[in-house]
Amino acid sequence: MRYILDLPPTLAEEMNKQIRIGKYASPQEFIVAAIQNQLYIESQEISEAAPAAGSSGVAATSVTSTTELPVKTGAIPNLLSRDIDGVKTVTVGTLERPTELWGQYNRLFPVKLAVRVAANLVKQYDAEYVALSELQEKAAEIARDLGKTIERKDKQLGRKRGTIISAGLPVGRDEDKAILRFKSQFVGYVAGNKDKGYWIEGAAPALRFLDMVRDEKNSVRVGLTASGAKFASLQNPVIDQHDFSASLSAEEIEFLLAHIASEVPGESRLMQLILRNVKKGIATPKELNDKVRALYPKQSSENQVVSMRAGVISRMCELGLFDREKDGVKVTYVLTERGEKHLEQIAEA
């Protein structure tokens, strides 16, 4: 289907800059990506305001299951094993990467899966680096297999949207698009070109759990950092215990909060902004949009602001820092005990 767009000169120039540096191949590719991102943001906004179809309205938070989670790994070893003692790690390299997580990286559990698979691949090959393409393929395959099982359990437990553990996993009806999104957004990739330079995108490298390099054949290879190895080794309730009460353990949450505070400055700054404003009672999506806009004055697009705010709120809820209170379609965020404690800790730092 063909549409003709009349873009303001300033937007057209900004789009052309992104094309010139090699991030997009053409205006069509840029616009399609923008539409896909906006549709994703809209779905997240709806998720904040409405319970899941068929939900009782009460989130089940204490149900466990001993059902084995199916993982199609064929002849290769179990790539979700916690037994990664002695795994080789690498230091964070010189390629630039975001210092905060973009709005589309709306959950941290998918990062856990990606990093656990990476740790097992690195151990399997007994190497510092493995092919990024292999990690993307195997992590996405496992994430979809597990995601389908977790999605069914989410429905059985009547989870409300915003607390669904399968969110962020490649379980969408359009399998190809869902898998591609998981590979790029959570595992990550190297962007750019030889003339303009390269940089790294994706949640796992932004969190400094994975590093990426180009080898002599110009292929991208990925290594596990020491922080990534630590995160991979921590026991996860869903993966290791088949416990669907939460996507992350208390130990994983404490590790992530401390790691982000010390190693991911942009994300830490954004989290602090949200925590402090919610503490003051500035606690609705619209009010917080204004605060995020002030933090990123160069991001004039309302869609970018909404995406950043929705993404960080979703991650912080997964970390147990907020509860959502609903009055009809109105959503207000309230600090939990953990949120209060973390705010006190960062204020003292």
Whether residues 186 and 323 fall in one domain: no
Whether residues 140 and 192 fall in one domain: yes
Residue 130: enclosing H or E segment and its boundaries? Answer: strand 129-131
Q: Which segment of 79-83, 215-219, 281-285 scores lowest on mean pLDDT?
A: 215-219
Mean pLDDT in residue range 146-173: 90
Whether residues 281 and 230 fall in one domain: no
pLDDT interval class at 296 (50, 70, 90): confident
Q: Which segment of 27-36, 85-94, 274-283, 287-296 scores lowest on mean pLDDT?
A: 27-36
Mean pLDDT in residue range 145-150: 94
Whether residues 124 and 206 fall in one domain: yes
The total of structural domains in the chain comes to 3
Whether residues 233 and 132 fall in one domain: yes
Residue 21 is predicted with a pLDDT of 54
Domain-terminating residue out of 245, 263, 281: 263
Whether residues 127 and 272 fall in one domain: no
Domain-terminating residue out of 263, 284, 302: 263
Whether residues 215 and 328 fall in one domain: no
For the domain that residue 284 is a member of, what is the CATH number?
1.10.10.10
Mean pLDDT in residue range 154-164: 85
Residue 195 is predicted with a pLDDT of 86
| Summary mean pLDDT of the chain | 84
pLDDT interval class at 73 (50, 70, 90): very low
Whether residues 97 and 74 fall in one domain: yes
Residue 67 is predicted with a pLDDT of 44
Distance CA 349, CA 330 (A): 34
Mean pLDDT in residue range 258-281: 95
Whether residues 88 and 10 fall in one domain: no
DSSP letter string, 5-30: ----HHHHHHHHHHHHTTS-SSHHHH
Q: Which segment of 109-118, 207-216, 271-280, 328-337 scores lowest on mean pLDDT?
A: 328-337
Mean pLDDT in residue range 156-177: 88
Whether residues 114 and 1 fall in one domain: no
Distance CA 233, CA 227 (A): 10
pLDDT digits (tens, 9 = 90+) for 99-143: 989 999 999 999 999 999 999 999 999 999 999 999 999 999 999
Residue 315: enclosing H or E segment and its boundaries? Answer: helix 302-318
Residue 347 is predicted with a pLDDT of 78
Residue 83 is predicted with a pLDDT of 93
Whether residues 17 and 88 fall in one domain: no
pLDDT digits (tens, 9 = 90+) for 245-254: 999 999 999 9
Global pTM reads: 0.80
DSSP 185: I
Domain that holds residue 12: 1-49
Residue 46 has pLDDT above 80, yes or no: no
Residue 316: enclosing H or E segment and its boundaries? Answer: helix 302-318
Residue 78 is predicted with a pLDDT of 85
Residue 105 is predicted with a pLDDT of 95
Distance CA 26, CA 30 (A): 6
Residue 56 has pLDDT above 50, yes or no: no
pLDDT interval class at 49 (50, 70, 90): very low
Residue 289 has pLDDT above 80, yes or no: yes
Tokens of 242: 């088949």
Mean pLDDT in residue range 200-226: 95
Helices (runs of H) and strands (runs of E) counted in the chain: 13, 7
Residue 163 is predicted with a pLDDT of 83
Mean pLDDT in residue range 303-314: 92
Residue 11 is predicted with a pLDDT of 60
Mean pLDDT in residue range 56-83: 52
Mean pLDDT in residue range 293-321: 89
Whether residues 117 and 236 fall in one domain: yes
Residue 199 has pLDDT above 60, yes or no: yes
Burial class (CB in 10 A: 0-12, 13-18, 19+), 65: middle
Residue 18 is predicted with a pLDDT of 61
pLDDT interval class at 316 (50, 70, 90): very high
